[in-house]
Amino acid sequence: MADETFDLAACLQRVRARDQIAARELVEHLYPLVIRIVRSHLPRRVAEEDLAQEIFLKMFTRLDQYKGAVAFSHWVSRIAVTTCIDQLRAQKRRPEFRWADLSEKEADVLDAVLTSEGEVAVNDSLAARELVYKLLGQLKPDDRLVLQLLDLEQHSVAEISTRTGWNPSLVKVRAFRARVKLKKLFEELQRKERS
Amino acid sequence: MNDFDSRWARLVAAARGAPAPADVAAPYGFAVRVAARAWADDRPTLQGLFGRFALRALWVACLLMLASVAVDYFYLRTGSQDEYATESLYDPVSEVLNSSS
């Protein structure tokens, strides 16, 4: 998506006319966007390239349905998000969250969050992000998605609604329920404490 | 919930501080492979053909049904309903019974 000079409208027109070169250009143009979404929602044991390929194939199959009501990148994002969610739903079992499975840094961050009121150290931000993904991984796919978009990526309810196709009320309800589940997980972790 | 909210907020704020992963280009050959598969998958499948023609077939079936009802109705209205009642049918069984008695 870094290429500002890319003429998307012309490219789409050529793709609709079955131009293979245009199709390749479109894939190359959208790859950074798609892979970013795939990596942030990546279901366990699914290779990111396979998932990205599935998303692009869906995009080509449904291209005739794109009427230009929303930006093309939004439309593709929606396909990417729903494909990832479908993959996550297919993997019904989620591994149990245990202190022992955390890295030293992740355990330190969790310890700091659970026991003190201070901020997490800046140099622990990568560990904090990994920890957030692991905690979100304990939730159902829809709950995980809504908290990731709302809290971690700081999208508005309206943006999430556009991206997922859920109405704003549903987004709020899902976020509330997801936070309740996460709260229970926090309480459980606090009870178990770090061994 | 407040206690949890502040903890969660601190954790995600720290997570947001992590550097965003750099944009990556598509691996070599990825775009070619995807584009080729996109067109390859474009061949009509049995399911696709069924979806394409099922609705048209339904319309044709409805038209045929209406036409057959209309023809039948017309046939009944023109008095052909007495055809079987008035026609004298040859009954070989009664012929045999009559001749033997």
Give the nearest chain A residue to B15 (CA atoms): A129
CATH of domain A99-192: 1.10.10.10
Tell me the C-alpha distance between A18 and B39, whole Å. 8
pLDDT tens-digit profile, chain A (195 residues): 446 678 888 999 999 888 889 999 999 999 999 998 888 877 666 788 899 999 999 999 888 888 888 889 989 998 998 898 888 887 766 667 777 778 888 888 888 877 776 677 777 888 888 888 888 888 888 888 899 889 988 899 998 888 888 899 999 999 999 999 988 888 888 777 655
Distances (CA, A) of A50 to A29, B33, B44: 18, 11, 23
Tell me the C-alpha distance between A148 and A132, whole Å. 9
ipTM: 0.71
- Cβ <8 Å between A36 and B30: no
Query: In chain A, what are the domain boundaries?
Result: 8-90, 99-192
B52 interface with A at CB cutoff 8 Å: no
Give the nearest chain B residue to A108 (CA atoms): B11
CATH of domain A8-90: 1.10.1740.10
Give the nearest chain B residue to A109 (CA atoms): B11
- Cβ <8 Å between A128 and B18: yes
